[in-house]
């Protein structure tokens, strides 16, 4: 089992909030479940977690608008 680093967990939660509008504590995920994703980068972990737990993307129905000239969304 991987040890969950607090910096990684904060970044993971930021990605979950951005992608799925939830944090790991909102859905009751504990450290043992998160340990399966801790070897991934926070964004990749959030995407994999969302897919494994059938979370709906926050932008699935209404994609976020990008500022003119921006290559990346918010």
Give the number of C-alpha atoms closer than 13 A to the C-alpha of residue 47, restricted to the C-beta side.
Answer: 5
More confident: 73 or 34: 34
Q: Is the pTM of this model over 0.75?
A: no
- Closest by alpha carbon to 29, among 47, 53, 11? 53
* CB proximity list for 17: less than 8 A, separation 6 or greater: 23
Rg (CA), the chain: 13
* CB proximity list for 45: less than 8 A, separation 6 or greater: 12, 15, 37, 38
Write out pLDDT tens, residues 10-60. Answer: 999 999 998 888 999 998 888 888 999 999 999 999 999 988 888 877 555
Q: Angle, nearest 10°, between helix axes 6-20 and 42-52?
A: 60
């Amino acid at each position: 089992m991987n040890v969950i680093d607090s910096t990684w967990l904060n970044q993971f939660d930021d990605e979950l909030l951005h992608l799925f509008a939830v944090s790991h504590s909102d859905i009751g995920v504990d450290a043992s479940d998160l340990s399966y994703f801790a070897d991934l980068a926070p964004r990749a972990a959030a995407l994999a977690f969302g897919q494994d737990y059938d979370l709906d993307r926050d932008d699935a129905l209404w994609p976020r608008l990008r500022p003119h000239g921006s290559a990346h969304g918010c």
